[in-house]
Amino acid sequence: MMFWYDHDVDGWGWFAMSAGMVLFWALIITAVVLLIRALHAPHEHTHTPTAPTPEDILRERLARGEIDEEEYRRRLRTLHAGPLKKT
């Protein structure tokens, strides 16, 4: 009847058990941290999108082919020149 005691866990068994417990708790802690972050993260739909800048609109019009490169550069220079002075 001594065969019940012949199945002790050897060094690799203890290592595997220890590594398994460390991985188990790391997984639990990671899940809790991610859950807390997800619950406290700001919602994306509450932010209003930023309005496109005039340069963005010009780039989009050039990309769509509504204006050519010469027109794009002329309008960009006008935008960067600032407001027109009245005389």
**Which pLDDT tens digit goes with each residue over 51-66?**
889 999 999 999 999 9
**pLDDT single digits (tens) 7-19:** 666 778 888 889 9
What integer best gives the mean pLDDT of the chain? 84
Helix 69-81 and helix 54-64, axial crossing angle in degrees, nearest 10: 170
Residue 61: how many other CB atoms lie within 10 Å: 14
- pTM for the full model? 0.41
Highest mean predicted confidence (pLDDT) among 12-21, 35-44, 60-69: 60-69
Q: Is the pLDDT of residue 47 over 80?
A: no
- Answer yes or no: are the C-beta atoms of 61 and 67 closer than 8 Å: yes
Q: Give the start-to-end residue ranges of the domains of the chain.
A: 10-41, 52-82
